[in-house]
Structure 1
Amino acid sequence: MRFARAAGARLIEVGIVFLGVTFIIYAMVWALPGDPIAALGGDRPLPAAVVAELRRQFHLDDPLLLQYLRYLGGLFTGDLGTTFDGVPVADRMAARWPVTITLAITAWVIEVVLGVLLGLVAGLRKNSWIDRGVLLTTILATSIPIFVVAVGAQLIFGLQLKWLPIAGTTAGWPTAYILPAAVIAIFGLAAIARLMRGSVIDTLQSDFVRTLRAKGVPRRTIVGTHVMRNSVAPVLTFVAIDLGYLLGGAVVVEGVFNLPGIGQLLFTAIRTHEGPTVVGVGTTLILIFLALSLLVDLVNSALDPRIRHV
C-alpha cells in the first residue's frame, strides 16, 4: 500500500514537471523574434493570402495558452505536431533516432566501464598518485566546454593523427561513433568515477569489511564480491538517469560532427525557426528523461523502504 502511494505521488510530480517544462519550451519557442511563416518563402516573400492561410492552418493567431492546450491534446494521441512544410514531426524524428540512440548507448557504455574502473582503482588507492590523478583529470574534464572538447578531438584524432573520421556516419559503427561518443562520455565518466571512488572509500571503512578482514578473507574476494556489490549501487542510479542526459546532450556534438541524428535535427530547426520541430523534439527528450527518472525512483523505492515517499 505504501509503495502504491509512493508510485502515485511520483506520477503526480512527474506530470506537474512535464506540464511546466513543456509549457516553458512552447512559450519560449513561439516568443522567438521573426515570422516562421514568412521565412518559408526565403528571398521571395509569400503572397499575403498564403501567409494568412498558413497562419490560420497552424493556429498562430490564437492565444498562446490555447495553442499549447491544442498541442497538449495532440500529444495524448501520439501527434507531435506538423512542420510548416507539412511533414509530421514524428516522421522526421523516426528517421534520425537510430543515429542518436547508437551514439548515446556507445557513450553510455564508455562512461560506465571507464568510470567504474577508474573510480574503483582510485578508491582502493586513496591518496596515492593514481587517486590524485583521477581527481585532477575529472575536474579538468568537467571544466572544459563540450564544444571545445569536440573540436579539439577532431583536430587531434581526426586531422592530425587520422585515426578516426571527423564527420558523418559513412564509416559505420563503431568507427564513426567512437570519437563523438567519447566526447559526450567524458562528462558522465568524470561524475561516475568520483561517485564510485567515494562509494568505494565508504564501503572499505564499513564494519562488515573490517569483519571480513579480521576473518582472513582474501582481499581479492573482499573487493571483487563485497566492495564492488555495495559500491556500485549508487552508481547504478546515476547511470540510469544519465542515459536520458546523453540523448539530450547529443545536440551540440551531433552538430559539430555532422551526425544526422535527433540533435542535428533540433540544431537545424532552431536555426531555421522551425517551431513545431523544436517543441516536438524537446517534448520527446523530456518524456524520455522523466520516464527514466521515474523508473529509477520506483525501483529504488521498492528495494529500499527508507527512501519511499510518505
Structure 2
Amino acid sequence: MRVARVVAGRVGELAIVFLGVTFLIYAAVWALPGDPIAALGGDRPLPPNVVAELRERFHLDEPLWQQYLRYLGGLFTGDLGTAFDGRPVAERMASRWPVTITLALTAWVIEVVLGVLLGLWAGLRKDTAIDRTILFGTILATSIPIFVVGVTVQLVFGLQLGWAPIAGTDAGWPVAYLLPALVIAVFGLASIARLMRGSVIDSMESDFVRTLRAKGIPRSRIVGVHVTRNSVAPVLTFVAIDLGFLLGGAVVIEGIFNLPGIGQLLFSAIRTQEGPTVVGVATTLILIFLALNVLVDIINSALDPRIRHD
C-alpha cells in the first residue's frame, strides 16, 4: 500500500510537470521566427493557396492553446504528430531508437564502472595526491561544454590518431560508438565519482567500520563487502535518473559524430524548422525522464522503509 501511495502521488506530481514542460516546448517551437510552411518551398516560394492549405492541414491557423490541446489529445492515443513530409513522427523515430539506445547504454556502463571505481579509489585515499587529482579532473570535465569535448575528441583520437571512426555507424558496436559514448559519459562519470568518494569517506569514518576493525576484520574485506555496498546505495538514484539525461544529451553528440539516432533527428529538425518532429521527439524524451523518476522512487521506497513521500 505504501508503494502504491508513492506511485500515485509521484504520477500526479509528474503529470503537472509534464503538462507545464510540454506546453513551454510547444509554445517555444511554434513561436520561432519565420514561417515553417513557407520555408518548405526553399528558394522558390510556394503559391499562397498551397501555403494556406498546408497551414490548415497542420492546424497552424488555429490559436496556440487550441493546437496544444489537439496535440495532447493525440498523445493519449499514441500519436506524436505528423511531420511536414506526411510521415508520422513516431514512424520517423522508430528506425533511430536502436542507435540512440545503444549509444546511451554504452555511455551509461562506462560512466557507472569508471565513476564508481574512481570514487572508491579517491575515497580510500582521502587528501592524497591521487584524491586531489581525481577531484581536479572531475571538476575540469564538468566545466567544459560537451560540444567542445566532442569536437576535440573527434579531432585528436579520430582524425590524428585514427583510433576510431569519427562519423557514422558502419563500423558497428563498439567501435563506432566508443568515442561518442566516452564524450557523453565524461559528465556523468565525474558526478558519480564525487558522489562515490563522499560516500566512501563517510563510511570509512563511521562507527560500524571502527567496530569491524576492532574485531580484526581484514581491511580488504571491510572495503570490498561493507564499505562498497553502503557507499554504492546513494549513487543508485543518480545512476538511474542519469540514463534519461544520456538519452537527451545524445542530441549534440549524434550531430557531431553523424550518428543516425534520435538526437540527430532532433538536431536536423531544429535546423529545418520541422516543428512537429521537434515537439514529438522532445515529448518522448520528457516522458522517458519522468518515467525513470517514478521508477527510482518505487525502488527507493521498496528497498528503504524509512523513506516517506508526503
Output the TM-score relative to the length of structure 2.
0.98
Match of 1:135 in 2: 135
Q: In the aligned structure 2, how far is the partner of 1:154 from the partner of 1:57?
A: 43
Match of 2:87 in 1: 87
Corresponding letter in the other structure for 1:208: F
Which sections of structure 2, spanning at least 5 residues, go unmatched?
Answer: none
Give 1:9 shift.
1.2
Q: Which residue of 1 aligns with 2:292?
A: 292
Q: Aligned residue for 1:251?
A: 251
How far did residue 236 of structure 1 move?
0.9
- RMSD (Å) for aligned C-alpha atoms: 0.8
**Alpha-carbon deviation of 1:302?**
2.2
Kindly state the Cα deviation for residue 34 of structure 1 after the two structures are TM-superposed: 0.7
State the AA in 1 paired with 2:124. Answer: L
Q: How big is each residue's C-alpha offset from its partner over 1:179-235, in whole Å with a ceiling of 9 and x where there is no partner? A: 000000000000000000000000111111111110001111111110111000011
Report whether the alignment pairs 1:302 with 2:294. Answer: no
Distance in 1 (alpha carbons) for counterparts of 2:155 and 2:49: 50
- Give the corresponding residue for 1:191: 191
Matches within 5 A, 1:255-270: 255-270=255-270
Return the letter of the residue paired with 2:181: A
Q: How far 1:3 moved relative to its partner?
A: 3.4
Which amino acid is 2:301 matched to?
A: S
Task: For 2:95 and 2:170, locate their aligned partners in 1 and report how far apart those are by CA, in whole Å.
Answer: 16
Distance 2:237 2:6 in 1: 18
Structure 1 match to 2:208: 208
Deviation digits for residues 26-83 of structure 1 (CA, Å, limit 9, x no counterpart): 0000000111111111111111111111111111011111100100010011000000
> Take 2:16 and 2:273, find their aligned partners in 1: how far apart are those partners?
28
Per-residue Cα deviation, 1:113-142 (whole angstroms, up to 9, x for no partner): 000000000001111111011000001000
Provide the C-alpha distance between the structure 2 equivalents of 1:249 and 1:7, rounded to a whole number of angstroms.
Answer: 27
Residues 122 and 130, structure 1, Cα contact 8 Å, conserved in 2: yes
SS at match of 2:306: helix
Amino acid at match of 1:271: R
State whether residues 247 and 285 of structure 2, in contact with CA within 8 Å, keep that contact through their aligned partners in structure 1: yes
Aligned-partner SS, 1:138: helix
The answer as to whether partners of 1:157 and 1:164 remain within 8 angstroms in 2 is yes
**What's 1:116 paired with?**
116
| CA distance in structure 1 between the aligned counterparts of 2:58 and 2:152, rounded to whole angstroms | 42
Structure 2 residue identity aligned to 1:28: A
Structure 2: which amino acid aligns with 1:257? F
Supply the AA of the counterpart residue of 1:94.
Answer: A
Runs of 5+ in structure 1 lacking a partner? none
How many pairs does the alignment contain?
310
Taking the TM superposition and a 5 Å limit, the aligned residue runs for 1:215-230 are 215-230=215-230
1:56-75 → structure 2 map (5 Å cutoff): 56-75=56-75
Q: What's the TM-score, normalizing by structure 1?
A: 0.98
Partner residue of 2:43? Answer: 43
Residue in structure 2 matched with residue 156 of structure 1 by the alignment: 156
Aligned partners of 1:157 and 1:163 also within 8 Å: yes
Q: Is the CA contact (8 Å cut-off) linking 2:139 and 2:190 kept in structure 1?
A: yes
Amino acid in structure 2 at the alignment position of 1:71: Y
State the alpha-carbon separation in 1 of the partners of residues 20 and 52 from structure 2: 31
Q: Is the 8 A contact 1:3 1:308 kept in 2?
A: no
Contact 2:119 2:195 in 1 (8 A): yes
Report the equivalent of 2:17: 17
Note the 1:159-174 alignment, pairs <5 A.
159-174=159-174
CA distance in 2, matches of 1:276, 1:234: 39
Give 1:6 deviation, angstroms: 2.4
Of the structure 1 ranges 111-120 and 4-13, higher mean CA displacement relative to structure 2 is found in: 4-13
Q: CA deviation at 1:307?
A: 2.4
- Conserved in 1, the CA contact under 8 Å of 2:6 and 2:297? no
Q: What corresponds to 1:175 in structure 2?
A: 175
Distance in 2 separating the partners of 1:270 and 1:21: 18
Question: Match for 1:202: what amino acid?
Answer: D
Counterpart contact for 1:80–1:89, Cα < 8 Å: yes
**3-state DSSP class of the match of 1:156?**
helix
What is the percentage of aligned positions where both structures have the same residue? 80
Opposite residue 242 of structure 2, the aligned amino acid is D
